[in-house]
Amino acid sequence: TTHWVRVTLQIPSEFAGKEVRLLFNPGCESMVWSADGQPLQGLTGGSGSDRRHEFILTSKAGSKEAKRVLYLEVACNGMFGLGNYLIGPPDPNRHFTLEPVELIVKRPKAWALYHDMTVLQQILDELSKESPRWWQALSTADKVMTAYDAADESSVDDCLEITREFFKAKTGDAAHQVYAIGNCHIDTAWLWPYDETKRKIARSWSTQLGLLERYPDYMFAASQAQQFEWLKELYPGLFARVKEQIKQGRFIPIGGTWVEMDCNIPSGESLVRQFVLGQGFFEENFGERCKVFWLPDTFGYSSQLPQIVRLAGAEYFFTQKLSWNNINKFPHTTFRWVGLDGSDVLCHMCPAETYTAEAKASQLISSVKKHKDIGYTNESLYLYGFGDGGGGPSEEMLERMARMRDVDALPKVKHAHPNEFYDHVDKNRKDLVTWNGELYFELHRGTYTSQAKTKKQNRQSEYILRDVEMLSTIARGLGKDLEYPAAEITRLWKLVCLNQFHDVIPGSSIEMVYKDSDAIYADVLSSARDMKEKAVVALFGDSGVCAAEEATGMLVFNSTSWPRTDVIAVPGMSQGLGVNQVRKQDQAALMVAAAVPGGGVQVVSSANDADAVPVSAYRDSNGLVVLENLY
């Protein structure tokens, strides 16, 4: 359920001159809206590390603040749906509790010391005692604990002087360079339906817009053109703010595809459509295509992809999923990935082995320790931020990143556009290794078999949309009276590509998602059949076509590129045709279309059945049922 909370507040005069925040924790996901209906920021309830309860009302309160009205849209679901554990079905009896709502003022110096000490603690946890910096970190922490006096707030200044000395020591020139980029990987559907994803996007991206305004060197990336289109349609004011940050190079659209799709089940045509739709949307709305194919969470990567990526105008590929392999660890971090036709793309798998890192010293150190190609290139990408509705990087993460950007004991860190990382590696790499063919993922199983109905409907949709385009194009080319249905074809391909998301078509989502996908496929197939029928009538309507009950034969078009022999079923044509077999459930005539040429037309009648070898069914001497056909 969704509940709306109207909050009327007034900042007290004793808060004058200070930054004032609203503290709101409903235990679940929520969104702060202005009184005039603009989304302002997402909130994540609960007590986990991903909690986000604060909304800044003003950076400097006046002495006489007027009353304010805000609206809170409270979505009663956890960040991972309504299951009582990470991956589970929704629990209709799950409840959430709204904690007391407060106005708060934070003490900036105390929080600065907190962030300093957090980084110190992480360095102590990760470094060996053989490292001099471990002892320096320990000594610094000890001095802080000695200097701090809970009864004397001014002691915080002394503590900050102590930590400042530790962070003054810089990293050497030859240190590993980490290129950091904020993100909030949002599964387009998984443990929640598509409609909830639309709200997750608005909550997360509005949050990031606020952080981009407060942290001038910070950058944030978001993929999946479908999510941008939803934002444009449902939250136009928010979309306009995103576009402004894109112009400034701070909010980075990335990936080039309609969704982060599965790469095992969809056809080659579908993979191409993902890029046609994705790159087309980015170019139309933001003025440029994406150079980086961004697919961190998909369950394996087809060997067709390097060629398609190149033809779509991209040059680089990012993932990290193969680091989850449970049998053979993938041997490379940065390499050239070569496809079936010899096309290659520069590929990088972040050595921190996550796309939702939390700006921790241990993860930055792992970026060095786990980099398998550091002898060829001394750089790596680092993706951080809470995903799946968690809002991306938090204020705490950005504060830690500021402290870790150039400090001895850690690699150098800088906020950067992923293009900058890839361009630098491509220009300065030394003899990178190559990987030929498929990138096989050794963990998630059953992706070829789960939710078979979804997979069947996907293939039916791919086939019929191809037929629609072929027949409509031929009809227009021959000057027939048919308006090419370009807009409707595009709409249907967007829906097919949406359902190819990497948690939908493989079968790893909750039941609710498949109710949505079934409805989408019903729409696609119904509309496509209608367009196909119109194209057929336009092509052959003047070729002696008559009502089914009056027919003596049938005109068959083979839309494939190879000759086909197949049994065809035509409801309503069993009378007067002299057919040998009729389908029981609808009395459809069954006839053989033999050796119809690829892309060709042939008239079929019951006479074609004369040479057909019928299917037989009988019991053998052992009482077993035997089915036999021509083969």
List phi, psi (to 5°) of 405.
-70, -30
Q: Which helix (H) or strand (E) segment is 554 a member of?
A: strand 554-557
> What is the residue-wise DSSP string for 128-187?
-TTSHHHHHHHHHHHHHHHH--TT-TTHHHHHHHHHHHHHTSPPPTTS-EEEEEE-----
624/484 Cα distance (integer angstroms): 54
- Please report the beta strands in 263-385, taking only residues with DSSP state E, as ranges in sequence order: 292-294, 316-319, 334-338, 344-349, 379-384
Phi and psi dihedrals of 484, rounded to 5?
A: -65, 125
* DSSP category for residue 100: P
Nearest by Cα to 52 from 81, 22, 80, 75: 22
Tokens of 27: 């235990």
Widest pairwise Cα distance in the chain = 103
- Is 297 one of the annotated active-site residues of the chain? yes
Order across the sheet with 589-596: list the strands: 564-570, 589-596, 581-582
Candidates 379, 306, 374, 383; CA nearest to 345 is 306
Residue type, position 14, single letter? E
Q: Are 354 and 385 contacting, i.e. CB atoms less than 8 angstroms apart? A: no
Identity (one letter) of the amino acid at 628? E
Interatomic CA distance for residues 188 and 307, integer angstroms: 26
HEC profile of 253-276: EECCCCCCECCCCCCHHHHHHHHH
Catalytic residue among 142, 152, 173, 297: 297
Phi-psi region of 8 (alpha: psi -120 to 50; beta: other; left: phi over 0): beta
Give the bridge partners for 269, in sequence order: none
Q: Which pair of structure tokens corresponds to residue 227?
A: 């999510």
As annotated, the active-site residues are 297
